[in-house]
Amino acid sequence: MENYAQELLFTLMALILVIALAWLFLKALKGFHVKQSGSNRINLLLTLPVGSRERVVVVAYRQHEYLVGITAGGMTLLDKMLIDEQNGSVNRDSPEG
């Protein structure tokens, strides 16, 4: 009976150790994710539904704003604009693709 209790204790200790290591790993991974620079973030600025499953969205990414059409079949770049942060103005680029 002592052998069974000892094995159960070792198993519980190992389980607690694995859970603690997983918690620490996830905490470190979350901290790494938050420390990324803000210029690499994709920001959804505006969503306009134009149908039951279709919408037009404005997304900001790396000093550009993208006008994107979204349907059930995929996404289409409608327009691309360069944001001049110093003047607060927007310069229109031609759409890619």
Comparison of pLDDT for 65 and 34, the residue scoring more: 65
27, 55: one domain: no
Domain range for 43: 39-93
| Contact criterion met (CB below 8 Å) for 93 and 82 | yes
Specify burial of residue 20 (Cβ count, 10 A radius: 0-12, 13-18, 19+).
exposed
43, 74: one domain: yes
Q: Two tokens at 1?
A: 């009976």
pLDDT one-digit tens code per residue, 41-95: 888 999 999 999 999 999 998 889 999 999 999 999 999 998 876 555 556 655 5
Reported pTM: 0.51
- Closest residue by Cα to residue 44 from 59, 61, 62: 59
| Residue 66: per-residue pLDDT | 95
Q: Two tokens at 37?
A: 């620079």
13, 55: one domain: no
